[in-house]
Every structure is written in structure tokens, then in C-alpha cells.
Amino acid sequence: MLQRHGGSPRPLLWGMLLAAFLATPLAAQQTPPVLDVDRVLPGIVEIRHTLHANPELSNREEETAALVARHLRSLGLEVEQGVAKTGVVGILRGGRDGPVVAVRADMDALPVTERTDLPFRSTKRTTYLGQEVGVAHACGHDVHTAVALGVASVLAPMRDSLPGTVKFLFQPAEEGPPPGEAGGASLMIEEGALEAPRPDAIFALHSFPDLPVGKVGWISGPTYASSDHFIATIRGRQSHGAYPHLSVDPVVTAAQAILALQTIRSRNLDPTEPGVVSIGIVRGGERMNIIPESIRLEGTIRTYDDSVRTSIKRRIDEILAGVTTAAGADYELEYHPYAPPTTNDPELSSFARDVLEGALGSDAVVEVEPVMGAEDFAWFAREVPGFYFRLGVVAPGTTSGALHTPDFRADDAAIGVGIRAMSSLVIETLRRGGAFAGDGGGAVRP
Ligand SMILES: [Zn+2]
Ligand SMILES: [Zn+2]
């Protein structure tokens, strides 16, 4: 361009302007509104401390939900409580027409006894599956809830200028409802959380102890695996341990089944295809010299692909049938699906990367790898184009244990980063208008 205009003084000016324009991140080119994160931060950090010190297990998030609803009402949002038991839906209607953008935050804690030295650490105890246990936000959902409340606090005073609607979904039971109960994202959807109005895009984040505060982890396409829980009961015939010929030994049969189930990963799946079959519980027997009547196996199945998921389930059944028939034993198989794979919509993801780089700086956005963990945000991302990113939570000079451990700790400083990141995603998606193509979670790899 400079060359085309020859030697007049104006091209130099235009060239400088162009260079400045190109150096400016996409999201900043259209002078985005100023986000007043610093104003809301002290109050939101205080809320985070309250949530952290008062964790509640899945489907028991009563006080958490009450606090969330109170905060949203104080900002003037439309609030519905009791969605999927303790879920809260808040709607912020902008002053101008435009798309609907949803932010999802999970609220539940885990049966873990916290071991951090945080001044607001949890000392709570509760009952879980008949046992007294410690309860803690060992998965950082207190941070996620606080961030979403912070986003509402930032956006509510801007409502007149917002081109569209923001829907906040505060979800119970992300870790899975207690046995025998329904709950989580799928129940929220069943109860209409994605209707009236239906979002055009949905965002969520997760605390990530492998990233420092200030960084966010970006990924497009498959990001978390599907997760299914299976319980296999192998039944034989009980006998004295000294007279095994009188038994049908479920211990030996279970041992064979455990090894045979590992051939699903090694011999049935394409080696390039992600997939895991892990058994975490082997339970049975009362005394060393009694061959018991039955053995119970429980495990988890992880994949990125619906057809692989179906074929693993089928192979488990076939293998149990074969092994138990050979032994003269019997089996029962229970199968509890938890979540499909979580897939970030490719078009929304690349848009989100530009927005995050504009909001936090390009150095702050790092590409991360998919993992075999699971996340029930998958249900939402199946319904509408979704983007799920990871929030760095480890402050300089500190360390954190892994998620779900007593030593997991998320630094308060991550909250401001999360609010800025999430508010920017919401505002820029509203300003962009128009829906994303949304090839949906399951459709990416048919
Ligand atoms: Zn978790
Ligand atoms: Zn979690």
C-alpha cells in the first residue's frame, strides 16, 4: 500500500495507521466497552471465600443456590430457582436486540477433606453414601460460580447498551448426582434451561492447576472425553476354600474378565483412537477360606467418539458373557452413562481465541491438549455451539495439588482473569450478532 501511493506524505500516515490497526487484536479493533472488573472484584472474592468455606455436595447445593439467586436478584436479573433440583437460571436482557449468549457455572463440591492452609479453607463435614466425610471445593467450582457472578456484576450496569440477552446457568451435580438420583446438565436441559430464550452460544471455564494465574487454556474440537460407569456382578457358587471343585469360583472368573476387558483397548479399538476401560472397584468375599458367591467390578469408560463408546459397551457385554459361560458362572451388567464427549465448536473456538487474546494478551492464551477427564458441560455443547476453556489458578511461588485432591488450591487472583475472559467472550459474541454454524458435540466425529 505504501508503495502504491508513491512519495506523498499521506501514505506514510496511512501506513502507520494500518500498522497500528494490524497490531491491534481483532476484538479491540471495534473499541469494545470498558469492563469494570476491578469495581466488582473485592465483593466477588468475598463471595468466593464464603462458597469455599461452605461447600455442598452434588444435588445438595441449597445454600449455594440461595446465595447465587440473591446476588443475581440484587443486580436486577430475572431469576428462576429449583431448576434440576438446586439449579439457578438468571436472565439479563440487554437494551438492544441481538443473540442470546449463555454462561454456565457448576456449583457442587466433593467428598474430600481439604488440606490446604487457605484462611477460608473448608472444615465442613457431611454424610455421603452413609459415611461421614469432609467436603471441599476440590474441583474449583467455587471459583467458577464466583466468576459467573462476577460476570453478571460487570454486565448488569451495562444492560442498556448490550445487544442481546445473557443467560446464566448455575448448575448442580456436575460431579454426578448421588446414586439413584437424577441431576446435572442433562436434567437442566430436560427441565427447559436451554429454552425461552434458547442460547446461540454457551461458554464455561474450569480451574486448571497445570496453568499459572493469568493464563487460559484454549482448545478447539474434542476437549474432554465421554464418561460411562459400569457395574458388573459375577455370580458363581459358594464353597469352602479347601474344596474348590464344589464351587463355581467368581474370583477366578472375575480375574479372567478383568484381563479380558483390557483387550478392548489393546485389540478392539483402532490404536489411534482415544479410549480407556478402567476398573476401580473389585469387591467380594468375607473370609480367606471361603470362595464367595459373587464379585462386583466397577469401572469407567472414556472415549471421544460416539461409535467407539457404543462398541466398548457391546464388547464388555460380549466378554462377560463369554468368560462367565466358560466358567459356568453368571453375570449382570449395569451401565450408567454420565456424559458424552465435550467438543468445542470449531468456529466459536477460533472466534473465542481472538477475543481471549484481545482481552488478556496473546501470551496469556495457550493451546492445551484434550484429556480423558469428562465434563457434563458436554450436554449443553451438544445442544448449542459451546466453548469450554481452562483457567490457570496457580499463583507464582505456590503449588497446587491435582483436581479432586485435598491439596488442590485455586488462587483468588484467577477470579479477576476469569471474569475478564468470560465477560469479553459474552460481550464480543453479542456484538458479533449472528449464530454460529454449530456442528454440535457428537457431530464433529460421526
Ligand atoms: Zn471434578
Ligand atoms: Zn470440576
Between the CA of 373 and the centroid of ligand 2 the distance, in Å, is 10
Nearest 5°: the CA angle 138, 141, 145 is 155
207 shares a domain with 87: yes
Between the CA of 10 and the centroid of ligand 2 the distance, in Å, is 55
Between the CA of 43 and the centroid of ligand 1 the distance, in Å, is 25
| Domain boundaries, position 325 | 227-339
Does some domain include residue 21?
yes
Q: What is the pLDDT of residue 439?
A: 55
Can you tell me the distance from the alpha carbon of 184 to that of 59, in angstroms, rounded to the nearest whole number? Answer: 8
Which ligand has its closest atom nearest to the C-alpha of 110? 1
39 shares a domain with 3: no
pTM confidence score: 0.87
53 shares a domain with 184: yes
Does some domain include residue 263?
yes
Between the CA of 179 and the centroid of ligand 2 the distance, in Å, is 18
208 shares a domain with 59: yes
Between the CA of 287 and the centroid of ligand 1 the distance, in Å, is 36
Kindly report the CATH number assigned to the domain that includes residue 292. Answer: 3.30.70.360
Which ligand has its closest atom nearest to the C-alpha of 106? 2
Count: domains in the chain: 3
Q: What is the mean pLDDT of residues 351-373?
A: 97
> Is the N-terminal amide bond of 197 cis, ω within 30° of 0?
yes
Between the CA of 208 and the centroid of ligand 2 the distance, in Å, is 9
Between the CA of 429 and the centroid of ligand 2 the distance, in Å, is 25
Can you tell me the distance from the alpha carbon of 315 to that of 318, in angstroms, rounded to the nearest whole number? Answer: 5
Please name the residues in contact with 149: beta carbons below 8 A apart, sequence gap of 6 or more: 44, 47, 68, 71, 72, 105
Between the CA of 375 and the centroid of ligand 2 the distance, in Å, is 7
Between the CA of 31 and the centroid of ligand 2 the distance, in Å, is 34
pLDDT band at residue 33 under the 50/70/90 scheme: confident
Does some domain include residue 437?
no
Between the CA of 139 and the centroid of ligand 1 the distance, in Å, is 5
Does some domain include residue 443?
no
Q: Residue 250: helix, strand or coil by DSSP?
A: helix
332 shares a domain with 248: yes
381 shares a domain with 250: no
Q: What percent of the chain has pLDDT above 70? A: 91
185 shares a domain with 111: yes
Between the CA of 47 and the centroid of ligand 1 the distance, in Å, is 20
Which ligand has its closest atom nearest to the C-alpha of 176? 1
Q: What is the mean pLDDT of residues 88-107?
A: 97
Which ligand has its closest atom nearest to the C-alpha of 204? 2
Query: Poorest-confidence range of 8-17, 102-111, 168-177?
Result: 8-17
Does some domain include residue 415?
yes
Between the CA of 141 and the centroid of ligand 1 the distance, in Å, is 8
Which ligand has its closest atom nearest to the C-alpha of 227? 1
Based on its alpha-carbon atoms, the radius of gyration of the chain, rounded to whole angstroms, reads: 25
Helix axes 37-53, 413-432, angle to 10 degrees: 120
Q: What is the pLDDT of residues 234-285, one digit of tens each?
A: 999 999 999 999 999 999 999 999 999 999 999 999 999 999 999 999 999 9
For strands 125-128 and 226-235, give the pairing.
unpaired
Q: What is the pLDDT of residue 196?
A: 95
User: Which amino acid makes up residue 292?
Assistant: P
Does some domain include residue 440?
no
Kindly report the CATH number assigned to the domain that includes residue 86. Answer: 3.40.630.10
pLDDT at 147 over 50: yes
Between the CA of 354 and the centroid of ligand 2 the distance, in Å, is 25
Between the CA of 404 and the centroid of ligand 1 the distance, in Å, is 6
Neighbours of ion ligand 2 (CB under 5 A): 139
Between the CA of 245 and the centroid of ligand 1 the distance, in Å, is 46
Burial 173-196 (b: 16+ CB within 10 A, else e): bbbbbeeeeebbbbbbbebebbee
Does some domain include residue 395?
yes
pLDDT at 303 over 50: yes
Q: What is the pLDDT of residue 436?
A: 82
321 shares a domain with 378: no
Neighbours of ion ligand 1 (CB under 5 A): 139
Does some domain include residue 6?
yes
- Residue that terminates a domain, selected from 324, 339, 354: 339
Which ligand has its closest atom nearest to the C-alpha of 393? 2
Q: What is the pLDDT of residue 28?
A: 42
123 shares a domain with 24: no
